[in-house]
Every structure is written in C-alpha cells, then in structure tokens.
Structure 1
C-alpha cells in the first residue's frame, strides 16, 4: 500500500457557512479552495504520474480549538473536487473513493487539514488511452 500525504494550510468552510453564501460568492470560494488544493499539491510534489482510480482518502481536520463540530459539515466535497482537477484522483465517486473525515489534534497557531491517500501501486489511470464521454 502506498501513501500520499497532502497538508493544506487552511480548512475549507463548513457546509453551514457554504449554504449561507450568495451563489456567486459560493462559486468563487469553491474555485479558490480547489486552486489552494492544487497549489499545495504542486508545491509538495505529491501529484502521481497518472490519476489514481481507486483509493482510500482520509481528511484529517486540525481546527484551532476543541469546539464541537458536526462531521457531516466537513464532508470534503471541495477538497475532492480539487484533487480530481489537479489529477491526483481520477474520479470522486463511491466506485473510486473510500472517504473518511476525522478530527485531528487542535492547532491554535496553524489550523489546517491533512489529506491522506492510500492506494495500491497499480491503481492508476493510463491517461494516454482514457477517453471522455
């Protein structure tokens, strides 16, 4: 089993915050988060040669404090979309991803999230033969 660990130096907004946003602001925030995921992946050099077709993804949230938060408010949609767009994962459906969101240790000085991706060595897509439908 191989592992990719991506540290993102921020935490995306919760679903409650997203739902209260104006739709233009929501789209802008989504695009910014996906770009953040992409830039961090490039900077940390964790993009595989070919997108992963089957993997386990664990999102570990390190909030500023121990305040209670609902895990379903941090399902990771924007993060998975960013991973897909940058080419780390081939798709973000149930057939491709086993997703788990967990609470990490609080970090007052630097709240962040870690994306831990586990996969078998041969679980990649050959992008030279892949066709779009």
Structure 2
C-alpha cells in the first residue's frame, strides 16, 4: 500500500546519516586535500588564553567547501552548517556563527587565502584531479 513515514516511528538506534555521503563525493576530497595543507602560519596567530577557538583547519575546510558550492555569505554558511549533512560532516558538527566565520576569513586568512588556494590546486594536480 504505502511506505511507512519514518519520522513518525522513532528507532532505538538512530541511523548514521554520515554513512549516506558517497566515498567519491567532493566533500571527501576537500577534506583530504585541506588535511595536507601547511597551515603553520595560521596556527601561529593563535596565542592561547581566553576562550577556545574552532580549529583553523576545520574552518578552512568549511570555507573551501562553501566556495566550491558558490556560497560566499557567512550567514548562508552558518545556515548550511545546521541544514546540510556535507557541511555537518566536514565541520564535525561544529557550529561557528556568521561572526566567527567572518572574523576567521577577514583576520586569520588575510593575505594567506591565495596561497592556500594555490596549494590546493597543486595538490589536486598531484592527485591527478586537475
């Protein structure tokens, strides 16, 4: 007759939604490539003390994946982190708000974003994607 509506029948063990991300999805490539980037110059900007920060590598992954999807607004990126499983997976379910995203982009990546993009292209060439 009709398929059951899964939202109305909860399960004891919830499904792992991240298992729905295909192994060949671009989000996995962005994750792997950014893991290979040298971000020591960005890490050196963090002096310690005060409140904890989101890891810069995670923030770079989220920004690069957003740019890959033509999302440039920090508010749209913030929303994607709560609505899109690819962004959720990439961020490890972290939820930086739009101010944090903007600050990271404007202050921490200032003068370094072009080099990071060049490094990504170089790595993609080495992996024979470009």
Do they fold alike, i.e. is TM over 0.5?
no
Q: Rg larger in 1 or in 2?
A: 2
Tell me the TM-score normalised to structure 1 length: 0.27
| Structure richer in strand, relative to its length | 1
Q: Which has the higher contact order (CA 8 A, sep 6+)?
A: 1
Tell me the TM-score normalised to structure 2 length: 0.27
| Structure richer in helix, relative to its length | 2
